[in-house]
């Protein structure tokens, strides 16, 4: 008896979804995405203020030079 292509693909998908390695990969990917979103949000929120602070520090260091 020959198994149809659709049943074979369905069986592969079910095996893949039951694999714990795939779940770990998805969890780590979501974690990395959330960290990246948090970092980008922080840079967007504090970016102007940090730029001003670093400019002040830079100008004070240049003025203190020999």
User: Rg for the chain (alpha carbons), in Å?
Assistant: 26
Gap between the Cα atoms of 54 and 47, Å rounded: 10
The residue ranges of every structural domain in the chain are 5-63
pTM of the predicted structure, to 2 decimals? 0.48
pLDDT tens figures, 11-41: 887 777 766 666 677 888 899 999 999 999 9
| Burial zone of 55 (CB within 10 Å; 0-12 exposed, 13-18 middle, 19+ buried) | exposed
| Number of H-type helices and E-type strands within the chain | 2, 0
Average pLDDT over residues 45-49: 86
Residue 1 is predicted with a pLDDT of 53
| 25 vs 65, higher pLDDT | 25
| 32 vs 7, higher pLDDT | 32
């Amino acid at each position: 008896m020959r198994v149809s292509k659709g049943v074979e693909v369905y069986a592969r998908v079910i095996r893949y979804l039951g694999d714990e390695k795939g779940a770990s990969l998805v969890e780590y990917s979501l974690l990395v995405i959330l960290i990246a979103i948090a970092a980008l949000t922080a840079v967007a929120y504090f970016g102007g203020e940090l730029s001003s602070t670093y400019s002040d520090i830079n100008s004070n260091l240049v003025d203190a030079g020999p």
